[in-house]
Amino acid sequence: MRWLNALLLGTVLSLLTGGVAVHSLFPAVQWIHSPLHVFLETLGAFTALMAAALLTLLKVYERIPARYIWVVAALAGMGVLDGFHALSQELQRFVWLHSLAMLLGGLMASLIWLPESIARRAVVYRLPLVVMLMGIVIGSAALHYGPLWSMLDDQGRFSASAIWINVLGGGLFLATAVYFLLEKRHLPIQDSPIFFSHYLLLGTSGLMFPLSMLWDGAWWYWHLLRFAAYALVFLYLFLLSRSEERQLFMLNTELEARVKLRTHQLKTELKERKTIEKMLKHQATHDPLTGLFNRNELERRINDDIARSIRYQHPLSIFMVDIDHFKEINDRYGHANGDRVLRSIAFELERSLRKTDYVARYGGEEFLVVLPETPVTMAVELGERLLRQVANHRANLGDDSVSLTISIGVASYPETAKAWHELLDTADGAMYQAKKDGRNCLRIAQSLVS
């Protein structure tokens, strides 16, 4: 930043000393070129208005202090009046419009010395627009009616009114330059040298006005100073806007990356939550040892199935299944191997059932099999097949294996009973009868239906 400030200061000093040199070396040389003057003034007006627009944009996004509203107003007013100045061909109006631009711009710029609280008032935000409209009215009136005072004497020299208006405007610009020189501690570090140089150039152009005549070297030179002042601020604000745009792009890219990352995290969390919910649901409805339905889920399902059977008069059967001599297996081989036996029987029960059937661990070594749409005769056939399948199966218990048998009690709706608890009780009684009859057999529950 120091080398940039040094380069800027060197350029401004060169421009200022150049004006003295031009006035000293070419005091009476005149070069009349109206199209070039119109081009410079039009370009200057456009540059001033664009700088005002960029400053307004930066102010909207609060990237610059509130007091810069006075800078915006100065640029807006000067840009409008310089545009009318470029359109004017009559010399009195020509000088009058330029002088008003200097005075209005200097007056607006010098208001930066006012307290920050004034600049923050809502009514002040409309000031640039008001100044632009005022410039349009003044410029239109000047083109139609002419200046209020004479700007040139009979010899074509600038009148006292023109000189004092420009000197006053130049003095106000220099006062503004002093503000940026003294208040740089309270302003963005890169702004102070830019706006100090901007107002120093404008102020110097105003003070050079009395030393010039129409179309002479000094006259062209202070036009150059004004244009350089506009271009300096415009270029700086353009680069600053590009920098802000790049920062916003980088911020947007970073935010998009964060959103993408967070979206991925949320999807992962949602997936994990669904997995946990599925696991919890499974734990709530299944026996942790065998993986079969637990008693709560069994009762929920069987109540639905019995209600459906009653509504549509369809048959339903159940098996109460108990592992024979299970206590002896636990006592001889240990509870860990007893658990293996339970899992083995659960596997045999599940693989022997149809897709519409389901099995649950009812408690201890007891299992309950539900056979929807199955009458008692078909249930008996399925039960006998299940007895043979289990009897032919051997459970692996470490280095040993054992043969297993089961006892089955069968109950059916509507042959045996018409309520769930009645079906359960009768199936349980039939299962105990099978055990009394020697185990590894099936017994049908006695009917409770009269």
pLDDT number for residue 214: 82
The mean pLDDT of 146-174, rounded to a whole number, is 86
pLDDT number for residue 24: 52
CA-to-CA dists, residue 361 to 5, 20, 236, 416, angstroms: 87, 108, 81, 22
The fraction of the chain above a pLDDT of 90, given in percent, is 23
Q: How far is Cα 323 from Cα 287, in angstroms, rounded to an integer? A: 17
pLDDT number for residue 322: 94
Q: How far is Cα 173 from Cα 189, in angstroms, rounded to an integer? A: 20
Tell me which of 43-47, 61-65, 393-397 is least confident. 61-65
- 158, β-bridge pairs: 152
Which tokens sit at 314?
């369809």
Best-predicted range by mean pLDDT among 147-156, 256-265, 423-432? 423-432
Q: Which residues contact 165 (CB under 8 A, 6 or more apart)?
A: 99, 100, 102, 103
pTM over 0.85: no
Residue 16 has pLDDT above 70, yes or no: no
pLDDT number for residue 164: 93
Q: How far is Cα 415 from Cα 413, in angstroms, rounded to an integer? A: 5
Residue 233 has pLDDT above 90, yes or no: no
Tell me which of 38-52, 176-190, 299-313, 353-367 is least confident. 176-190
How does residue 12 score in pLDDT terms, banded at 50, 70 and 90?
low
pLDDT number for residue 62: 66
pLDDT (tens digit, 9 = 90+) per residue, 388-415?
999 988 888 877 888 889 999 999 988 8
Structural contact between residues 203 and 196, judged by C-beta atoms closer than 8 angstroms? no
Structure-token match 């049908």, residue found: 444
Q: How far is Cα 227 from Cα 386, in angstroms, rounded to an integer? A: 104
Which tokens sit at 134?
């005022």
Q: How far is Cα 271 from Cα 277, in angstroms, rounded to an integer? A: 10
Burial 409-439 (b: 16+ CB within 10 A, else e): bbbbbbbbbeebebbbbbbbbbbebbbeeee
The mean pLDDT of 321-336, rounded to a whole number, is 90
The mean pLDDT of 436-442, rounded to a whole number, is 94
DSSP label of 126: G
In 3D space, the residue among 237, 232, 226 whose CA is nearest the CA of residue 203 turns out to be 226
DSSP label of 62: T
Structural contact between residues 151 and 158, judged by C-beta atoms closer than 8 angstroms? yes
Instruction: Pick 3 or 272 by higher pLDDT.
Output: 272
pLDDT number for residue 4: 46
In 3D space, the residue among 110, 42, 46 whose CA is nearest the CA of residue 74 turns out to be 110
pLDDT number for residue 2: 45
Instruction: Pick 244 or 209 by higher pLDDT.
Output: 209
pLDDT number for residue 6: 45
pLDDT (tens digit, 9 = 90+) per residue, 91-102?
888 889 888 999
pLDDT (tens digit, 9 = 90+) per residue, 337-391?
889 899 999 998 888 888 889 999 998 899 999 999 999 999 999 999 999 999 9
Residue 106 has pLDDT above 50, yes or no: yes
